[in-house]
């Protein structure tokens, strides 16, 4: 037992000595790393830090926080390359070395890092031990050295390039001198060098060719020897301006060749300075005969164009581009818009508020992009405020060397009105034809019903007959008007008595209307006339029916006639409200109906009357005072019967 106690005492003593040695070794290791640039650390198999010796101040402040954490947890994404290298050492057992870049507090540090595996007694890798040397200063130095080397290479390359460029420039300068002499001699323009007094010192081959002399004979000749008399003064003034101002000057003169032929030439001259004075001039000489001829032809063409433009019956205007200011307008344009020439020249359509600004901008865009903008429907406003509908045709042209837009306006106001009337007419015809057809169909269908009495059937058939007559009247008027417009209206003139014709027309109206007092007041002594009985009856029927429509129920309608020198005058007077003077001007137009009359129809009756009366050589008119009824009168000239008279 005593022996065992002594061994325990010796073991404890040995353990204390070992611990003391370890603490001493740890202090020595800490002292060794304290001033060393090397960072030493160890990590377990999961790459969690187990101990760390660090001299980097930024890391030293957080050194204790490394223990138990991995590189990704501490450094985030920038720790991944270092962790991947350590993981490879753990997996393969082979040490490695990498240069690792670490960013801390906005500063970058480079570490030359050595990674070695740590093994247990069985040789199994249990972690890694690493040493990292801060080589940031070395890397920066190396980068500076590398940049200097690269800069030197660049400068060396630039120097070589400059040397080569200099050699090439010398070679090109020599070649350019030769080329310049060739270009000078064979240039398509004549070149001359003259003294202050106009004596020729140098001339190229083209100048000699233009003047028709050998070059040697031009030298020391006076340039004025080749100028036509009426251009001598212009050349002298040109020479004076060049020498006095020192500014490049141009002029056009007439010159003659050695064979006496005359040509137009343009001179462009500049003074040559020598010892601070302008002792000579250099001049280019060009033959512009063809250009002058083309300019003359262009002027004549423009004059012809403007004559046609101003005499055109179609409104036209010319505006500058892109400003759109009018520079020319013809009389037709001024008449349409009711302006004077002084009021529009220099103005724009937007400034005068003639058309909508957006519509004009669209036209301008089309002209500038496509060269034209055609068939554009616009509403223009005249000076007095009247609105006119036009079709606008716009084309880009060149006038006086400048781009312009010529606009042609076609007044379609009347056409649009006719189109509107036509549309309204179609609607009215559809309605007016449908109404009697509906009555006819309904009446006949009801009449077929066995439950209807004889009296009811008689009344229904009478309604159907009356509606059929109305329908026939509408169709007859349309047929007559169609024949007239197609030039196929034929009159079958015979000797007829107006009393008989008027009686038949009145009887037809009485059968249709039993609400008015229709009086036939035509003397028996009225002689026969040469007329188409059917057409005159159609005229009277239309007039009497209109009189009934526009007279109050129970009102009186009178048909009368009188013989005058100009022919037979026939009239129909009603007891209605009369017709205003404004309406009297248009009641004979197609589809016209009186406002507020309440009468139905499509407005063709009076038009047909007018066409049939005029076909007979007569005329038709209305006499009325508002509130006192009106009288429609027409004439049939004296004349013999004529078969198949075509109008």
Q: Is 0.75 topped by the overall pTM?
A: no
Of 233, 265, 293, which closes a domain? Answer: 293
Give me the percent of the chain exceeding a pLDDT of 70. Answer: 89
Tens-place pLDDT, residues 377-392 = 999 999 999 999 999 9
Burial per residue of 20-43, b for 16 or more beta-carbon CB atoms within 10 angstroms, e otherwise: eeeeeeeeeeeeebeeeebbbbbb
Name the pLDDT band for 522 (thresholds 50, 70, 90).
Answer: very high
Name the pLDDT band for 424 (thresholds 50, 70, 90).
Answer: low
Q: CA–CA separation, 86 vs 47, rounded Å?
A: 8
The answer to the question of residue 22 being in a domain is no
Give the per-residue pLDDT at 502.
93
Tokens of 299: 């002027």
Name the pLDDT band for 641 (thresholds 50, 70, 90).
Answer: very low
Give the per-residue pLDDT at 645.
43
Top pLDDT among 473 and 615 is at 615
Give the per-residue pLDDT at 432.
58
193 with 262, same domain: the answer is yes
450 with 505, same domain: the answer is no
Helix (H) / strand (E) containing 340: none
**What is the DSSP secondary structure assignment for residue 123, as one 8-state letter?**
-
CATH number at residue 441: 3.30.450.20
Which contacts of 424-432 are long-range, i.e. CB under 8 A and separated by 24 or more positions?
424/591, 425/590, 425/591, 425/602, 425/603, 428/591, 428/601, 428/602, 428/603, 429/474, 429/478, 429/602, 432/474, 432/600, 432/601, 432/602
The answer to the question of residue 177 being in a domain is no
- Of the given ranges (99-108, 209-218, 243-252, 335-344), which has the lowest mean pLDDT? 99-108
Name the pLDDT band for 259 (thresholds 50, 70, 90).
Answer: very high
Asked if residues 226 and 198 have their Cβ atoms less than 8 Å apart, the reply is no
499 with 392, same domain: the answer is no
326 with 276, same domain: the answer is no
Mean pLDDT of 166-171: 86
The answer to the question of residue 301 being in a domain is no
Tens-place pLDDT, residues 467-500 = 777 677 667 767 776 776 667 778 888 999 999 9
270 with 324, same domain: the answer is no
Tokens of 329: 């307008």
The two counts, helices (H) then strands (E), for the chain are 19, 24
For strand 125-134 and strand 38-44, is the pairing parallel, antiparallel, or unpaired?
Answer: antiparallel
Helices (H), 187-288: 205-211, 215-218, 232-245
CATH number at residue 515: 3.30.565.10
Given a cut of 70, whether residue 421 has pLDDT beyond it is no
Tens-place pLDDT, residues 347-358 = 998 888 998 888
Calculate the average pLDDT of the chain: 84
Helices (H), 246-347: 289-311, 331-337, 341-344
Helix (H) / strand (E) containing 515: none
Q: What is the DSSP string of 446-476?
A: HHT-TTS-HHHHHHHHHHHHHHHHHHHHHHH
Give the per-residue pLDDT at 75.
85
Is the bond into 322 cis (omega within 30 degrees of 0)?
yes
Mean pLDDT of 77-84: 90
Mean pLDDT of 255-260: 92
Top pLDDT among 415 and 341 is at 341
**What is the DSSP secondary structure assignment for residue 77, as one 8-state letter?**
G
The answer to the question of residue 134 being in a domain is yes
Mean pLDDT of 593-615: 71
Tokens of 145: 């050295």
Tens-place pLDDT, residues 5-22 = 777 777 778 878 777 777
Q: CA–CA separation, 522 vs 369, rounded Å?
A: 74
282 with 211, same domain: the answer is yes
Name the pLDDT band for 646 (thresholds 50, 70, 90).
Answer: very low
CA nearest 349: which of 338, 366, 361, 367?
361
Helix (H) / strand (E) containing 637: none
The answer to the question of residue 30 being in a domain is no
The answer to the question of residue 518 being in a domain is yes
Give the per-residue pLDDT at 306.
83
Q: Domain count for the chain, please give it.
A: 4
Mean pLDDT of 636-643: 62
Q: CA–CA separation, 42 vs 74, rounded Å?
A: 15
Tokens of 630: 């009106």
The answer to the question of residue 179 being in a domain is no
Mean pLDDT of 202-226: 91
Give the per-residue pLDDT at 175.
79
477 with 495, same domain: the answer is no
Of 264, 293, 322, which closes a domain? Answer: 293
326 with 281, same domain: the answer is no
With 0-12 CB in 10 A as exposed, 13-18 as middle and 19+ as buried, what is 74? Answer: middle
Burial per residue of 195-210, b for 16 or more beta-carbon CB atoms within 10 angstroms, e otherwise: eeebebeebbebbbeb
Beta bridge partners of 571: 560, 633
Q: CA–CA separation, 576 vs 599, rounded Å?
A: 12
Of 104, 119, 140, which closes a domain? Answer: 140
Other CB atoms within a 10 A radius of the CB of residue 373 amount to 21
Integer CA distances (angstroms), 336 to 308, 326, 353, 357, 415, in order: 18, 16, 15, 20, 16
430 with 326, same domain: the answer is yes
Give the per-residue pLDDT at 591.
59
Asked if residues 40 and 128 have their Cβ atoms less than 8 Å apart, the reply is no
467 with 497, same domain: the answer is no
Q: CA–CA separation, 545 vs 535, rounded Å?
A: 15
Tens-place pLDDT, residues 532-560 = 898 899 899 989 999 999 899 999 999 99
The answer to the question of residue 150 being in a domain is no
CA nearest 573: which of 517, 633, 533?
633
Other CB atoms within a 10 A radius of the CB of residue 90 amount to 19
498 with 453, same domain: the answer is no
248 with 355, same domain: the answer is no
Mean pLDDT of 333-361: 90
Given a cut of 60, whether residue 446 has pLDDT beyond it is yes
Q: For residue 414, what are the domain limits?
A: 312-489
């Amino acid at each position: 037992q005593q022996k065992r106690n002594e061994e325990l005492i010796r073991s404890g003593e040995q353990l204390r000595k070992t611990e003391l040695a370890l603490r001493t070794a740890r202090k020595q290791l800490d002292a060794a790393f304290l001033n060393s640039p090397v960072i030493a650390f160890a990590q377990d198999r999961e790459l969690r830090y187990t101990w760390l010796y660090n001299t980097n101040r930024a890391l030293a402040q957080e050194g204790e926080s490394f223990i138990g954490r991995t590189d990704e947890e501490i450094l985030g994404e920038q720790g991944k390359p270092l962790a991947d290298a350590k993981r490879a050492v753990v997996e393969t057992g082979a040490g490695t070395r990498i240069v690792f870049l670490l960013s801390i507090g906005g500063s970058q540090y480079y570490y030359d890092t050595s990674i070695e595996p740590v093994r247990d007694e069985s040789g199994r890798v249990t972690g890694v031990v690493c040493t990292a040397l801060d080589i940031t200063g070395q890397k920066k130095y190396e980068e500076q050295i590398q940049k200097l080397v690269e800069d030197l290479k660049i400068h060396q390359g630039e120097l070589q390039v400059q040397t080569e460029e200099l050699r090439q420039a010398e070679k090109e300068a020599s070649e350019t001198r030769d080329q310049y002499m060739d270009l000078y001699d064979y240039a398509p323009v004549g070149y001359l060098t003259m003294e202050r007094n106009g004596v020729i010192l140098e001339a190229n081959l083209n100048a000699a060719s233009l003047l028709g002399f050998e070059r040697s004979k031009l030298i020391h000749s006076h340039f004025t020897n080749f100028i036509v008399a009426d251009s001598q003064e212009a050349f002298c003034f040109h020479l004076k301006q060049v020498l006095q101002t020192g500014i490049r000057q141009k002029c056009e003169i007439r010159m003659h060749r050695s064979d006496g032929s005359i040509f137009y030439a343009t001179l462009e001259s500049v003074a040559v300075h020598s010892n601070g004075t302008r002792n000579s001039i250099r001049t280019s000489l060009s033959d512009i005969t063809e250009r002058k001829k083309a300019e003359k032809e262009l002027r004549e063409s423009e004059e012809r164009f403007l004559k046609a433009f101003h005499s055109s019956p179609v409104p036209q205007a010319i505006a500058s581009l892109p400003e759109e200011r009018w520079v020319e307008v013809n009389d037709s344009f001024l008449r349409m818009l009711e302006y004077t020439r002084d009021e529009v020249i220099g103005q724009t359509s937007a400034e005068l508020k003639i058309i909508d600004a957006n519509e004009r901008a669209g036209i301008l865009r089309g002209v500038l992009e496509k060269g034209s903008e055609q068939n554009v429907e616009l509403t223009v406003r005249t000076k007095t405020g009247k609105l006119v509908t036009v079709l606008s045709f716009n084309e880009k042209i060149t006038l006086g060397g400048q781009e312009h837009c010529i606009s042609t306006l076609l007044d379609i106001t009347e056409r649009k009105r006719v189109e509107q009337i036509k549309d309204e007419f179609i609607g009215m015809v559809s309605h007016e034809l449908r109404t009697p057809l509906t009555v006819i169909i309904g009446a006949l269908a009801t009449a077929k019903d066995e439950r209807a009495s004889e009296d009811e059937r008689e009344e229904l058939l009478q309604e159907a007959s009356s509606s059929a007559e109305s329908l026939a009247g509408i169709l007859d008027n349309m047929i007559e008007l169609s024949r007239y417009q197609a030039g196929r209206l034929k009159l079958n003139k015979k000797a007829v008595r107006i009393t008989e014709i008027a009686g038949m027309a009145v009887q037809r109206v009485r059968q249709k209307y039993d609400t008015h007092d229709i009086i036939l007041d035509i003397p028996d002594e009225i002689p026969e006339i040469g007329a188409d009985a059917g057409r005159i009856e159609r005229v009277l029927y239309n007039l009497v029916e209109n009189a009934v429509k526009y007279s109050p129920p129970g009102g009186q309608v009178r048909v009368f006639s009188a013989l005058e020198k100009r022919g037979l005058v026939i009239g129909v007077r009603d007891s209605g409200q009369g017709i205003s003077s404004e309406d009297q001007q248009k009641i004979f137009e197609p589809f016209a109906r009186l406002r507020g009359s309440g009468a139905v129809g499509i407005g063709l009756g009076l038009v047909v009357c007018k066409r049939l009366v005029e076909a007979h050589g007569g005329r038709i008119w209305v006499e009325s005072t508002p509130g006192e009824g009106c009288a429609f009168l027409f004439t049939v000239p004296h004349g013999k019967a004529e078969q198949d008279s075509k109008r």
